[in-house]
Amino acid sequence: MASKVTRLRALALYKELHRLGRDYEPSYDFHRKLRRLFEKNRNLTDDEEIEKALRFGEYIKNETLALYSLRKYRHLKRMYPSNSTSDT
């Protein structure tokens, strides 16, 4: 049986992923996939399996944040191109 701390960790992870999904591309349907993934793991009882699912969720969160950072970097690079032909 999952402890209260584990339950709170899962809820916090879900909320954070849900917030991150707001900026995700609408055609991917991030929220539906997120909900389906959490519902699939809702009946886990083994502590090791629960911890494994939480680690996978943390991995998804970190990868999503990396994608957002990459998107911002690419946008800034397009906005401020480097001048390879400067007069120095």
Sort 17 into a burial class: Cβ within 10 Å, 0-12 / 13-18 / 19+: buried
Give the Cα separation of 58 and 41 in Å (integer): 15
Q: If pLDDT is split at 50, 70 and 90, which confidence band does 1 have?
A: low
Q: In the structure encoding, which two tokens stand for residue 39, read together?
A: 């519902």
Single pTM value for the model: 0.76
| pLDDT tens readout for residues 3-52 | 899 999 999 999 999 998 888 778 888 899 999 999 999 999 999 999 99
Buried b (16+ CB within 10 A) or exposed e, 56-75: ebeebeeebeeeeeeeeeee
Q: What pLDDT score does 61 carry?
A: 93
Phi/psi class of residue 29: alpha, beta or left (left: φ > 0; alpha: ψ in -120 to 50)? left
Q: If pLDDT is split at 50, 70 and 90, which confidence band does 72 have?
A: confident
